[in-house]
Structure 1
Amino acid sequence: MKIPVLSSFMFDEPSIWITVATLLSTVYLGFAEVIGSHLQYSKFANSSQGIKLSSRAGMLILYTPALLAGIVSFFVFPGDGLRFLLLKSAVTFHFFKRDLEVLFVHKYSGNMGVGSTILISIFYFYVATSMIVVYYMSLGLPEPSIDLTYIGLIIFIAGIIGNFYHHNLLSKLRANKEKEYKIPRGGLFNLVICPHYLFEILIFYGFAFISQTPLAFACAIGDSCYLIARSHQTRNWYVSKFEDFPTSIKCLIPYVF
């Protein structure tokens, strides 16, 4: 199905219902955050409810299935051009990086709910798989007249670097035995409370620009909605916990929100 206004930037849509369902489901997760129905991880994990996993084990479960999907895609869908190679490589590298951070960068202060862990893991696996499969389904269709592949690659690299840098800053807030939360400092933390979310959004828009499929843009928009809502709730949490929290620090976008 062709979307006339966007046809210069996107492939034809092989399955509009998959794209619509993806967008609505991810937007719903953002709405759930706004109304206080948080996914149970990080500072919003409720230690008194449900079955729990250690944060390290839970985080590995979040990202590893998506990483494996990316690795398998090189064998299931070999070749088929530079754009497809860049998409598969970007998806695989992102989740490989996340697993490395889980193992060697992050410090943990709590547990994760099993239900939220499974839900997020399925979402990431679905995103990784669907972006690759839908692009494969688009092969042979007319290419968009405006090629955004290399712009997407630049956005993706900027997102990866910025996301890793700020995750590394977060890890240095605590000594090895410390578990209490502190107000993050350094980098864009001096301007927003969730710069790592901002750069994760860039990563997803990198995927979208590289592939130029409507589904990839739906994933990016949905991820943005969720992380915007999550960053707003995160800032509210810090304000409630720290009397000295700087009022000038925004949620996600410096000086704006």
Structure 2
Amino acid sequence: MVMSVLSSFIFPPPSSLVVSGLTVISFLILVTSFLSEIRGKHLNYSKFWNANPSAQKQIKLPSKAGMLLLYTPAFLAGLASFWIFPPQSLRSIILQSAVTFHFFKRVFEVLFIHKYSGGMTLESAIPITLSYFLSAATMTYAQHLTNGLPEPPMNLLYPGIVVFVIAIIGNFYHHYLLSNLRGEGEKEYKIPKGGLFGLVICPHYLFEITVFYGIFFISQTLYAFSFAIGTNLYLLGRSYSTRKWYVSKFEDFPKSVKAVIPFVF
């Protein structure tokens, strides 16, 4: 039953054992990260860079260098995919472009938009970097393997483009709002305002989740589907922890503001 439903909007699973294995592994890693966030064992970056006692003994990276480390390999993987897997269809061209542009945007934001405080531990940076790099490489490779296969009965390519564009703009806009919270030289955290911050404390996560669903709609591969769901779960956990952190730090934090899904969660 489940497979018949999936087959209506997903290409047949690839014959590649590598892609199949990475599909399962990346999903399980993201689910494990979701459970860790809910339990209070955070990846050590942003507000939580020193949340765990062991973080004090780990190698610390400056936030900007750490964030560049997270996104640059994935951006380069997307860029290289145009040479390694020359696009053979409109879907593959758009998928490779979407993956590359998403990580290019993140690199751009690290260099020119974000303002930093705290740091990032190398122990957290390495698995996140590998996750993003492997996701970019595997997503483009999985798409390459669909060339010549019959299209899924339900074509989500064009809705996917719309979802992706809206999500990219929404994510960038809320990152921009966050960057404007602090004046020159300021490092303290404040309660974000503007945009969807009046409804949820992590609208940037909401739009990042939507970015990967947009990429899945464009791709319609099993790997992109599993990565979108896994990312969704992880960022639900991260946003839950973020809201909990704000509630503990600010007595005037609005109780009506949810974590990531307006009015719901």
Shorter chain as normaliser: what TM range? over 0.9
Q: Which one of 92, 97, 103 corresponds to residue 89 of structure 1?
A: 97
Which residue in 1 is equivalent to 2:13?
Answer: 13
- 1:32, 1:22 → 2: CA distance? 15
Query: Is the CA contact 1:91–1:128 (under 8 Å) kept in the aligned structure 2?
Result: yes
User: What is the identity, as a one-letter code, of the residue corresponding to 2:39?
Assistant: I
Give 1:36's aligned amino acid: G
* Inter-CA distance 167–94: structure 2 relative to 1 (3 Å threshold): same
Contact 1:23–1:218 under 8 Å retained in 2: yes
Match of 2:106 in 1: 98
1:75-126 CA-to-partner distances (Å, cap 9, x unmatched) read: 1111301000000000000000000000000000111000111110000001
* Letter aligned with residue 13 of structure 2: E
Taking the aligned partners of 2:173 and 2:258, their CA distance within structure 1 comes to 19
Query: What is the aligned partner in structure 2 of residue 232 from structure 1?
Result: 240
Distance 2:135 2:31 in 1: 14
The partner residue of 1:150 within 135, 138, 158 is: 158
Give the CA RMSD over aligned residues: 1.2
CA contact 1:53–1:112 (8 Å) conserved in 2: yes
20-29 or 86-95: bigger deviation: 20-29
CA distance in 2, matches of 1:44, 1:79: 40
Equivalent residue, structure 2, for 1:123: 131
Asked if structure 1 preserves the Cα contact closer than 8 Å seen for 2:79 and 2:100, the reply is yes
Provide TM-score, normalisation by structure 2: 0.94
SS in 2 for 1:138: coil
Equivalent residue, structure 1, for 2:190: 182
Structure 1 position 24, deviation (Å): 1.4
Counterparts of 1:91 and 1:237, CA distance in 2: 31
Equivalent residue number for residue 174 of structure 2: 166
Query: Structure 1 CA distance, aligned partners of 2:24 and 2:115?
Result: 37
Q: Which whole-Å CA distance do the structure 1 matches of 2:33 and 2:164 have between them?
A: 23
Amino acid of the structure 2 residue aligned with 1:193: I
Contact 1:107-1:176 at 8 Å conserved across structures: no
Residue 219 of structure 2 is matched in structure 1 by 211
Q: Take 1:66 and 1:25, find their aligned partners in 2: how far apart are those partners?
A: 17
Contact 1:149 1:211 in 2 (8 A): yes
Q: Aligned to 1:53, what secondary structure does the other structure show?
A: strand
Structure 2's unaligned 5+ residue stretches are none
Matched position secondary structure for 1:192: coil
Question: Which of 75, 85, 89 is residue 67 of structure 1 equivalent to?
Answer: 75
- The percent identity for this pair of structures is 58
Counterparts of 2:68 and 2:239, CA distance in 1? 22
In 1: Cα distance, 2:98 partner to 2:57 partner: 36
Aligned residues: 256
Q: Which amino acid aligns with 2:100?
A: T
> What is the aligned counterpart of 1:53 among 47, 61, 69?
61
Q: Give the SS at the match of 2:145.
A: helix
Map 1:105-120 → 2, pairs under 5 A: 105-120=113-128
TM-score (norm 1): 0.97
Rounded to whole Å, the distance in 1 between the matches of 2:64 and 2:25 is 30
Moved over 6 A (4+): none
- Alpha-carbon contact 2:89-2:147 (below 8 Å) kept: no
